[in-house]
């Protein structure tokens, strides 16, 4: 009877939560135009989280995101979106602390901000924007939500929850709002009190107006075209007429654009000098890399790029040649790819994307040592470069030189302590070099940062059985196991 009662209570909780999320995430209409509909996690009358609390919440938030969403781990794409985000953060006078920008592998046209300066960008947004300034305008808007504390104004409603459970609750609502999929939010937030969600989610026009205003100022400060925000809003508004309410792109569901909002954005942009900015090559290369990754068959890419290059129907010829190269490599047409790539490298010998493509091509042609040399030359020109370091580490593993990987990637960890891919490569390198215990520890961190707590514990338990561990090493592993067990227990308690 008790189990049945608990089961019924959980079912009722889930139904209530689902109903609330459906109400909150559906577009709101009134006598006036539709209001802006971005989630504001928090109550402005409450106490703001301390930087340390928000940082811990942000890291837990990212573990939940990585567990539930297809976060792209491509080093070149990660480096691009982080670089663009950093430019905008540096132009925002209110930005403090670290920001992490990451990509979600989805055709959805959207972006979202989470606690701790974590900002997610859907790949569909990059491929839909018509300029880098348009992309920057959306990111600048999300940065403003973080700097103005729109996301975490108070911890009152979640202080009674453990930090991991609070992070999952926030991630669930952000994901649900960004994707307009309440079922996903309900699944991710199973067991969370419906009342907490109701208190903590507010949709406010004032926050959106503030984010627009600060975002435009940030764009101008970073050297981007400040009119790109209203231009993008206007284009999305016109596109909305092609859809009914059930098929609207996610950006239009969560960022409804009205004539007033567009006019206000133009008015704010007019306060800054007109700035015509050429798109960076990195922007164009990232767009085409994403396009190629989306093809299920490399021959689709070959057909697309051969046609656009032949007809001259492209915004940037060089990036389309790059996309063509990637497609040719994917279809094992190595000679054709090499001929085009050599011309690009002759033009830009230090471009990371081209060096990585050349190294990958050389590996596929049976010349892995030459590929390693190509990456090494790139690193000599760009010491510490993230994507070159990651591909260089993989190249070292491919040719059986794991002992050189750890010093290289441990330096990367100092600047990217939460980078899951780095831990994964370190785990392989340690194992291949014969240090199985260290390999299990690194693999544990990989699982931990991707939200797989059970698997993270299993790896530590294996490492802990090593009889050759020193007292210090044993104590360190035991302490880490205790931390992860507590987090796992907190999440399991939330779901009961």
In a domain, 350, yes or no: no
pLDDT at res. 298:
96
* Listed residue (480, 425, 418, 478) closest to 451, CA to CA: 418
- The catalytically annotated residue of 212, 362, 419, 487 is 212
In a domain, 68, yes or no: yes
Phi-psi region of 136 (alpha: psi -120 to 50; beta: other; left: phi over 0): alpha
Spatial separation of the C-alpha atoms in residues 431 and 64, rounded to whole Å: 27
Could you confirm whether 212 is annotated as catalytic?
A: yes
**CATH number for the domain that contains residue 424:** 1.25.40.10
Residue 464 to residues 243, 359, 426, 474, Cα–Cα distance (Å): 57, 38, 18, 6
Helix (H, G, I), strand (E, B) or coil at 103: strand
Total domain count for the chain? 2
pLDDT at res. 175:
62
Binding residues: 141, 145, 208
Helix (H, G, I), strand (E, B) or coil at 452: coil
Among 252, 269, 286, the domain-final residue is 269
In a domain, 49, yes or no: yes
SS (H, E, C) the chain: CHHHHHHHHHHHHHHHHHHHHHHHHCCCCCCCCCCCCCCEECCCCCCCCCHHHHHHHHHHHHHHHHHHCCECCCHHHHHHHHHHHHHHHHCCCCCCCCCEEEEECCCCCCEEEEHHHEEEEEHHHHHHCCCHHHHHHHHHHHHHHHHCCCCCCCCCCCCCCCHHHHHHHHHHHHHHHHHCCHHHHHHHCCCCCHHHHHHHEECCHHHHHHHHHHHHHHHHHCCCCCCHHHHHHHHHHHHHCCCCCCCCCHHHHHCCCCHHHHHHHHHHHCCCCCCCCCCCHHHHHHHHHHHHHHCCCHHHHHHHHHHHHHHCCCCCHHHHHHHHHHHHHHCCCHHHHHHHHHHHHHHCCCCHHHHHHHHHHHHHCCCHHHHHHHHHHHHHHCCCCHHHHHHHHHHHHHCCCHHHHHHHHHHHHHHCCCCHHHHHHHHHHHHHCCCHHHHHHHHHHHHHHCCCHHHHHHHHHHHHCCCCCCHHHHHHHHHHHHHHHHHHHHHHHHHC
pLDDT at res. 416:
93
* Listed residue (40, 22, 88) closest to 208, CA to CA: 40
Full residue range of the structural domain in which residue 197 is found: 9-269
pLDDT at res. 74:
97
Cα 155 to its chain centre, rounded Å, is 24
pLDDT at res. 257:
62
Among 269, 286, 311, the domain-final residue is 269
In a domain, 144, yes or no: yes
Cβ burial, residue 187 (10 Å; 0-12/13-18/19+): middle
In a domain, 336, yes or no: no
Cα 175 to its chain centre, rounded Å, is 12
Spatial separation of the C-alpha atoms in residues 189 and 485, rounded to whole Å: 20
Helices assigned H by DSSP within 348-470: 352-364, 368-381, 386-398, 405-415, 420-432, 436-449, 453-464
In a domain, 3, yes or no: no
Binding residues for Zn(2+): 141, 145, 208
Tokens of 132: 């880098």
Mean pLDDT (10-residue bins), the chain, 496 residues: 48 40 34 34 49 82 90 97 97 90 92 89 94 96 87 53 67 58 44 43 64 92 93 75 49 61 87 88 98 95 96 94 98 97 96 98 96 96 95 97 96 93 97 97 97 96 96 96 91 68
Same domain, residue pair 107 and 255: yes
Residue 354 to residues 314, 337, 350, 373, Cα–Cα distance (Å): 19, 12, 8, 14
Spatial separation of the C-alpha atoms in residues 260 and 258, rounded to whole Å: 5
- The catalytically annotated residue of 142, 250, 318, 353 is 142
Spatial separation of the C-alpha atoms in residues 486 and 175, rounded to whole Å: 25
Same domain, residue pair 265 and 406: no
Residue 282 to residues 81, 159, 219, 306, 316, Cα–Cα distance (Å): 9, 42, 18, 21, 11
In a domain, 342, yes or no: no
Among 215, 234, 269, the domain-final residue is 269
In a domain, 207, yes or no: yes
Same domain, residue pair 264 and 406: no
* Listed residue (446, 447, 445, 477) closest to 464, CA to CA: 477
0.85 cut: is pTM over it? no
Tokens of 480: 């880490």
């Amino acid at each position: 009877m008790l189990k049945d009662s608990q089961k019924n209570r959980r079912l009722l909780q889930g139904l209530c939560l689902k109903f609330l999320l459906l109400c909150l995430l559906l577009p709101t209409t009134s006598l006036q135009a539709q209001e802006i509909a971005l989630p504001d996690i928090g109550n402005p009358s409450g106490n703001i989280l301390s930087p340390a609390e928000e940082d811990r919440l942000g890291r837990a938030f990212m573990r939940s995101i990585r567990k539930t969403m297809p976060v792209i781990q491509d080093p070149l794409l990660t480096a691009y979106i982080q670089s663009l985000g950093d430019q905008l953060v540096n132009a925002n006078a209110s930005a403090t602390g670290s920001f992490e920008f990451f990509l979600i592998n989805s055709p959805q046209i959207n972006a979202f901000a989470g606690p701790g300066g974590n900002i997610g960008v859907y790949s569909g947004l990059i491929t839909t924007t018509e300029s880098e300034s348009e992309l920057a305008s959306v990111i600048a808007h999300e940065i403003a939500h973080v700097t103005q504390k729109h996301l975490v104004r108070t911890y009152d409603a979640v202080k009674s929850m453990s930090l991991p459970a609070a992070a999952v609750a926030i991630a669930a609502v952000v994901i649900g709002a960004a994707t307009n999929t309440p079922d996903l939010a309900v699944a991710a937030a199973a067991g969370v009190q419906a009342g907490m969600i109701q208190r903590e989610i507010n949709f406010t026009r004032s926050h959106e107006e503030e984010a627009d205003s600060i975002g435009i100022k940030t764009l101008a400060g970073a050297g981007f075209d400040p009119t790109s925000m209203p231009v993008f809003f206007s284009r999305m508004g016109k596109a909305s007429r092609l859809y009914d309410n059930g098929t609207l792109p996610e950006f239009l569901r969560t960022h409804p654009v009205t004539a007033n909002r567009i006019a206000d954005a133009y008015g704010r942009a007019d306060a800054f000098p007109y700035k015509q900015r050429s798109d960076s090559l990195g922007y164009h290369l990232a767009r085409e890399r994403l396009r190629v990754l989306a093809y299920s068959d490399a021959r689709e890419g070959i057909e697309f790029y051969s046609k656009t290059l032949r007809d001259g129907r492209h915004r940037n010829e060089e990036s389309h040649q790059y996309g063509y190269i990637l497609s040719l490599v994917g279809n094992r047409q190595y000679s054709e790819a090499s001929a085009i790539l050599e011309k690009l490298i002759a033009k830009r010998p230090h471009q990371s994307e081209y060096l990585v493509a050349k190294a990958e091509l050389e590996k596929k042609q049976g010349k892995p040592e030459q590929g390693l040399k190509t990456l090494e030359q790139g690193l000599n020109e760009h010491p510490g470069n993230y994507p070159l370091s990651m591909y260089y580490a993989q190249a070292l593993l491919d040719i059986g030189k794991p002992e050189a990987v750890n010093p290289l990637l441990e330096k990367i960890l100092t600047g990217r302590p939460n980078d899951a891919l780095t831990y994964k490569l370190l785990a392989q390198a340690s194992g291949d070099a014969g240090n199985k215990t260290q390999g299990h520890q690194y693999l544990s961190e990989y699982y931990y940062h991707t939200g797989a707590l059970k698997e993270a514990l299993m790896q530590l338990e294996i490492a802990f059985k090593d009889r050759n561990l020193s007292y210090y090493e044993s104590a360190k592993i035991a302490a880490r196991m205790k931390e992860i067990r507590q987090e796992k227990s907190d999440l399991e308690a939330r779901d009961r």
